[in-house]
Amino acid sequence: MKHLKLAALAALLGTSAMAADPGVTDTEIKIGDVNIMTGPASFIGRAVAIGSKIAAAEINEAGGVNGRKITIITEDDGYVPARSFQALTKLIEVDEIFALNGTSGTANVLAMMPLIEENNLPTIVSTAPNELVYDPVRPSVFTLGGSYSNAFYAQLKYIHENAEPENPVYGLIRQDDDFGLAIEHGYDRAIKEFGVKDGARVAFKKGTSNFSAEVVQFRSAGVNVLANGGIISGAANILSEARKLGMDMQSAQVWSEDMPLSVNLAAEAGYDYYVADYVALTGPANDAFMEKAKKYVSDEEIAAINRYTYVTYASLMAMAEAMKGCGQDLTRECTIENLRKMENFDVGGIVAPLSFNNEKQLSGTALAVYQIDAKTKTFTQKTDFIDY
């Protein structure tokens, strides 16, 4: 009888161990990161990885999550959605991650969504806060940041009220994908609300580098307020073509254009363009973060920090806070529930305090409009952080 009881106890313990969520041991929690580590946009993925590295180091130095240290496992998707799916499959099936903190671009996170939902994987999307990520809401997915739609509306509203030329003619250039559609939604809202002329709309394939024909179309239409949905070299090439044609215009840009590399490329055209961002680009919060970063990463990594570092740092700090609330009995479901309850979690001012306790599981939506001085390559904040 004694042997039977011992066997039953062993079976019970074995079942309990097998029932535990993946990625958690007595000493470690594995967090996955699918990101753009190769290709033209790899500096974004690298900045994301640095944000996770700083957050994990800070958390681990303070004792981890209830004694468990965080380990970040990064997979490269090269900004290709099919590779994103493959990368997350590997992280789930081979590395057995507990949660996901890096999610690449809009199309990439949407490609991963079936795996995220199937595995009830706690996920914070911070690099691509597209409406398509949180509408419809997925139970285990939380989103940090304002939408591309609102970001372009915010910039066009500021231009309309403060810097619009006489006889304004608006134009839009965007990628022919979900990211581009989100930008067009903000553009549509502005056109209808302001009652301005919609001169021309152009969609282009991701990866396009020559925009001469598209910009000629804008000049022919008389466009003097441009919603520029290009990214990095694409955005810079669009502005460069406009300058070659002598176009005098105001330009609203994607928030990727406030990063140092993007600024160096785009400022050459001489336009004092705008961006709207849910990240504080200047001020004490940035100074404090950079001082903290020096403790955990190399000088080379410090030089690679940009806005994507801040948001990924913030999202991992929020994930850790939710996990801490579970005590020693850490599960995915408990982490998700704690994220759903999160309200006004402070991340040092680099983004607004995080509150996911709403029907969209969405936080950090307020946006500030900034304008660059193309000569000095510095930004000035033009508005407070506002929800649009």
Confidence of residue 9 (pLDDT cuts 50, 70, 90): very low
Count of domains observed in the chain: 2
Closest CA to 192 of 214, 176, 173, 170: 170
Region class of 361: left (phi > 0), else alpha (psi between -120 and 50), else beta: left
Query: With 60 as the cut, is the pLDDT of residue 132 above it?
Result: yes
Summary mean pLDDT of the chain: 93
- Residue 352: pLDDT over 90: no
Per the DSSP assignment, residues forming a β-bridge with 175 are 204
User: Is 292 contained in some domain?
Assistant: yes
Q: pTM here?
A: 0.83
Is 275:370 a contact under the CB 8 Å cutoff?
yes
Report pLDDT for 13: 45
Instruction: Identify whether 13 is part of a domain.
Output: no
pLDDT above 70 covers a percentage of the chain that reads 95
pLDDT-based confidence at 283, cuts 50/70/90? Answer: confident
Q: Terminal CA-to-CA distance of the chain, rounded, Å?
A: 70
Reference 172, options 159, 191, 157, 151; nearest CA is: 191
Q: With 90 as the cut, is the pLDDT of residue 298 above it? A: yes
Q: pLDDT tens digit string along 71-130?
A: 999 999 999 999 999 999 999 999 999 999 989 998 999 999 999 999 999 999 998 898
* pLDDT > 90: percent of the chain: 87
State yes or no: pLDDT of 260 exceeds 80: yes
Which domain CATH number covers 156?
3.40.50.2300
- What is the rounded CA–CA span in Å between residue 256 and residue 36? 14
Q: Are residues 317 and 374 in the same domain?
A: no
Strands 197-204 and 169-175: parallel
* Structural domain includes residue 191: yes
Specify whether 165 is located in the same domain as 263. Answer: yes
Report whether the peptide linkage leading into residue 81 is cis, meaning its omega lies within 30 degrees of zero. Answer: no
